[in-house]
Amino acid sequence: MPAANLLPAGRRIAAIGALALAGSLLVAAPAQADGGKGSPSGAPAAATTPKGDGAKGICKRLPRTEERVTKALNRINGDATVVGSVARLEQRVANAKSAGHAEIQTYLSDRLTARKAMVTTLQTRQKDLKSVATWCAAQGEGSGK
C-alpha cells in the first residue's frame, strides 16, 4: 500500500500543496537570480526611442481619422433619438429627476458634463486635422485610408 494513502485526506492535500509551492520556488529562483532584468546576461533591455515625429503615418491615417472625428461629432450633436448624443443624455437626466432617482440623476449629470466637454475637444481636434491635412498636402504625404 502506498504511503500517501496512509495519510488522512487533509494532510494529503497539505502535502501536495507544500510540494507544489516548493516546485514553484525552485522554478522562480533562476528568474530572480538575474535581478529581474529579463536577459540572460543581466544587462537591461535596450530602450527604444522614436526616430521621428510619425508624420508619414499621421498623414497616411488622416482621412480615416477625420472621418472618425466627424462621425463622433455628428453623433454627439444629434437629437434625442441618437444614442450617444448630448440631447439624449439630457432627456435621461430629466427622466431620472422626474422619477425621483437622485443617484441616477447625479450619475447621468456627471456623464453629461463629460460628454459636453468632449464636444469642445472633438471640435479642436477637427480644426487641428484641417491644418495637418494642409501640411500633408504641401509635403506630398498621405494618400489613402
Higher per-residue pLDDT: 12 or 143: 12
CA nearest to 126, candidates 54, 71, 55, 60: 71
> In this predicted structure, what is the pLDDT of residue 24?
62
* Average pLDDT of the chain, as a whole number: 82
| Grid cell 444629434 in the structure block, residue | 78
Q: How far apart are the C-alpha atoms of 62 and 131, rounded to whole Å? A: 11
> In this predicted structure, what is the pLDDT of residue 130?
96
The secondary structure of residue 98, as a DSSP letter, is H
Residues 6+ apart with CB under 8 A from 97: 105
Higher per-residue pLDDT: 12 or 40: 12
In contact, 56 and 141? CB cutoff 8 Å: yes
**If you write DSSP's letter for every residue of 42-56 in order, what string do you get?**
-PPPPPP--SS--HH
pLDDT, tens digit, 9 for 90 and up, residues 38-61: 555 555 666 788 788 899 999 999
